[in-house]
Amino acid sequence: MRNLFNRCKALYLRRLAKNDFILAMFVTLFVYFSAVLANWAEGIGVFIQRHEFFQFDELLLGLFTAACMACWYSYRRVLDWKCELKQRQSAEVAVLNMLHENRTLTQHLHTAQEDERKRIAHEMHDEMGQYLTAIHLSAHVLVSQDNALTLPYAQRIMQHVAHIQNAIKHLLENLHATTLEEHHLADAVECLCNSWQIDHPNLECHFMISPFALSHIHWVDSTLKIAAYRMIQEALTNVAKHANATQVSINMDISKQTPHLSLSVLDNGMGMDLSQPSAGFGLLGVRERVRALHGNLKLSSSPQKGLQIDISLPIKVSD
């Protein structure tokens, strides 16, 4: 898109220069033929002879010198303009390269973050799960002995172990969504919506996906799937923390012409003033993920009218 804009701009400048050249030639020829027909030179000569006291005949040399200086000044300004244009183009190339490097680095950081999440989740599952199971079995043995002294404590230990296991399960799901490995994106988002509904009973969460997107969900690769899942997760977290909403809907679609994954998260909360900078990092993290994947993010909101997050991510379809 930027290359097309630069080409159109260069074509416009060339056409503008051509029009200016034609206009200059037309004015020059018009003045020349007008002077020939009206004998301007003879009239000027007579006028100068009549007013020799004012030395008008020396004025022509001064005007010629001024014209030469004006040409020299214009030439110098053209050189300066070319130098400035070259520096600006170099700066734009440097900025584009830096932007590309930042996007690559951001994507690498997100990948490393997901790998670290996965490693921590597996270690917690293996280590904590093993010890909690041992504690649960030990407490079960105490319960089976039917000792009136230890029975209440053993039952309480089993309850605490069950509570810790549920908390760890929820924590592991937030660290690393196993549904992403076992199912495609649509099923993972639906599971996320259902679990989020359980954790927030006062909020209604609805998930909708178009039939075309459901039948072509296999186009979404693992990198895009994880990124889209984290964006929706962050959007839901933002709704729970700041929106004060009662309903939130998630829509997913895949375009037919140019393969793009479209995500939309809409709530009926208090909304926000988009002209003011956001104080949190949730939407900033979503924006950085979208930029790293060369996608588009659009926010639509106004105070007391909810917030809508529209995300479009390109899909790389393998032949």
SS3 content of the chain, % helix, strand, coil (to 5): 70, 10, 20
Asked if residue 11 has pLDDT above 70, the reply is no
Q: Strand 307-314 vs strand 296-301: parallel, antiparallel, or unpaired?
A: antiparallel
Q: How many helices (H) and strands (E) does the chain have?
A: 9, 5
Q: What sign does the CA torsion over 290, 291, 295, 298 have?
A: positive
The model's pLDDT over 181-224, given as tens digits with 9 standing for 90+, comes to 777 888 888 888 888 888 888 888 899 999 998 888 888 888 88
Please provide the size of the chain in residues.
319
Furthest-apart CA pair in the chain: how many Å?
Answer: 137
Query: So what's the pLDDT on residue 182?
Result: 74
Of the listed ranges 6-15, 228-237, 285-294, the least confidently predicted one is 6-15
- Pick the closest to residue 224 from 196, 187, 262 (CA basis): 262
Q: Provide the 3-class DSSP secondary structure of residue 220.
A: coil
Structural element, H or E, at residue 183? none
Question: Which DSSP string corresponds to 244-311?
Answer: --SEEEEEEEE-SSS-EEEEEEEE-S----TTSPPSSSHHHHHHHHHHHTT-EEEEEE-TTS-EEEEE
pTM for the predicted model, two decimal places: 0.61
Looking at the chain, the whole-number percentage of residues with pLDDT higher than 90 is 8
Q: For the sheet with 204-209, list strands across it.
A: 204-209, 247-254, 260-267, 307-314, 296-301
CATH architecture of the domain covering 179-314: 2-Layer Sandwich (3.30)
| Average pLDDT, integer, range 3-22 | 64
Query: So what's the pLDDT on residue 311?
Result: 93
Residue with tokens 């390269």: 97
